[in-house]
Amino acid sequence: MNLKAVVLYILASLLCLASAALNASPIAPDSSFPVFEVSAQTPGRIDVESHMGLLVDSTRALAPDQVMAPAKVWQTITRRSPNFGFTNDAYWFRFQIDNLGQQDAARFIELPIPFIDDVQLYHYTAGQLKTSYRLGDEMPFAQRVVRHQNFVMPLNLAPGANLIYIRLASSGTIEAPFRIWDPTRFYEANDDDKLLQGLVIGILLIMIFYNLFVYFSTRDVNYLYYIGFVASYLFFHVSLNGYAFAYVWPAAVRWNSIAISTFVASSELFASLFAGSFLRLSAFSRPAHYLTRALVIASALLVALTFVLPYSWTVRVGAAFTIPICLTALALGYWRWWRGAKFARYYCIAWTTVLISLSVLNAGKFGLVPSNIWTENASQIGIVLLVLFLSFTLTDRINHDRTLRINAQAVALGHERWARSAQEALLKTKEEANRELEQRVTARTNDLNLTLDQLQLANDQLQRLSSVDGLTQISNRAFFDSALAAEHRRADRAKSSLSVVMIDLDHFKLVNDTYGHLGGDACLRALAGLMRPRIQRVGDVLARYGGEEFVMLLIDSSMKDSMALAEGFRADIEKLAIPFEGRTIRVTASFGVASGIPNQYLSPQALLAQADKALYQAKHDGRNCVRSWPTANRES
Hey, what long-range contacts does 342-349 have (CB within 8 A, 24 or more apart)? Answer: 342/400, 343/393, 343/396, 343/397, 343/400, 344/279, 344/393, 345/1, 345/396, 346/389, 346/390, 346/392, 346/393, 346/396, 347/278, 347/279, 347/389, 347/390, 347/393, 348/6, 349/1, 349/6, 349/389
Q: Left if phi > 0, otherwise alpha if psi is -120 to 50, otherwise beta: which for 157?
A: beta
The number of angstroms, rounded, from the C-alpha of 346 to the middle of its chain's C-alpha atoms is 26
Is residue 551 within 8 Å of residue 484, measured between CB atoms?
no
Q: What is the DSSP string of 562-592?
A: HHHHHHHHHHHHHH--EEETTEEE---EEEE
C-alpha distance from residue 284 to each of 221, 296, 407 (Å) = 18, 18, 21
Distance CA 122, CA 124 (A): 7
Q: Which of 238, 205, 208, 235 is nearest to 223 (CA)?
A: 208
Beta strands in 450-525 (DSSP E): 498-505
Neighbour count for residue 31 (Cβ, 10 Å) = 9
Q: How many CA atoms lie within 13 A of 270 on its CB side?
A: 19
The 3-state secondary structure of 191-209, one letter per residue: HHHHHHHHHHHHHHHHHHH
520: helix, coil or strand?
helix
Is residue 75 within 8 Å of residue 34, measured between CB atoms?
no
Catalytic residue list contains 548:
yes
Is residue 535 within 8 Å of residue 527, measured between CB atoms?
no
Distance CA 433, CA 274 (A): 28
Distance CA 523, CA 517 (A): 10
Is residue 253 within 8 Å of residue 139, measured between CB atoms?
yes
Helix (H) or strand (E) holding 125: strand 118-125
Neighbour count for residue 18 (Cβ, 10 Å) = 11
Distance CA 546, CA 78 (A): 33
C-alpha distance from residue 274 to each of 229, 359, 519 (Å) = 8, 21, 58
497: helix, coil or strand?
coil
280: helix, coil or strand?
coil
Q: Which one of the listed residues 548, 567, 574, 635 is annotated catalytic?
A: 548
User: What is the bridge-based pairing of β-strands 179-181 and 498-505?
Assistant: unpaired
User: What is the bridge-based pairing of β-strands 83-86 and 173-175?
Assistant: antiparallel
Residue positions annotated with a catalytic role: 548
